[in-house]
Amino acid sequence: MTFRTLMIALAALLMLRALAAEEARPFNPADYPPEVQKALQYANDECAAQGGGEVTFAPNTVQTIDLNADGRDDYIVNFGDTRCTGLRTFAVFCGTGGCLMDILVTLPNGKVRPIFDGYVRSYQIHPDPAEKPKAARRISFELHGGYCGGHGTPSCFKEKAITTKPFAFKMP
């Protein structure tokens, strides 16, 4: 084995070790702005209100992504995999309408504003359109059927372009 090959192998091993350490890092609410921390605090408050103990967040609870094409980080907080110890039910943060989700966007002045807070069964963030690469991202939401005038099933699907303006889905 040549010295160059050995150095490449060593560099690759160090990169893999760094990636593994990053993946193993526990979720830490302090890694996020105060407004996101406030959204996460809801989980602790709700867990305590229902007689539970410690809240466990999944590593992917907060997704950081530029949603409104302004070059600033925005945040999606999804409580779908959040657990409340001491309770037998998983329905603390989820129900027939889906799981609690918050969307927060960063304003030009650096403040973070919540723009959505509701229950979502699933969601899909659409990629930037090729013809408008700096356009606001669109998200398709799968919601409780009642949002389309029906019942729990089938689901209701709504799509929204994400801006700095708050929005909510209303049942008819």
Q: What is the pLDDT of residues 30-49, one digit of tens each?
A: 999 999 999 999 999 999 99
Domain annotation covers residue 15: no
Distance of CA 86 to the CA centre of its chain: 24
Domain annotation covers residue 57: yes
Q: Which residues pair with 24 in a beta bridge?
A: none
Domain annotation covers residue 13: no
pLDDT for position 7: 44
Count of structural domains, the chain: 1
Q: Are 112 and 104 in contact (CB under 8 A)?
A: yes
pLDDT for position 28: 93
Domain annotation covers residue 98: yes
Which residues of the chain are under the pLDDT cut of 50?
3, 5-7, 9-11, 18-22
pLDDT for position 24: 58
Domain annotation covers residue 136: yes
Domain annotation covers residue 132: yes
Summary count for the chain: helices (H), strands (E) = 2, 10
pLDDT for position 122: 97
pLDDT for position 135: 83
Nearest CA-CA partner of 148 in 139, 137, 138, 159 = 159
pLDDT for position 129: 67
Domain annotation covers residue 6: no
Question: What separation in angstroms does the CA of 73 have from each of 20, 46, 66, 105, 158?
Answer: 24, 27, 5, 7, 24
Structural domain harbouring 75: 29-161
In this structure, what token pair is assigned to residue 96?
């027939």
Domain annotation covers residue 120: yes
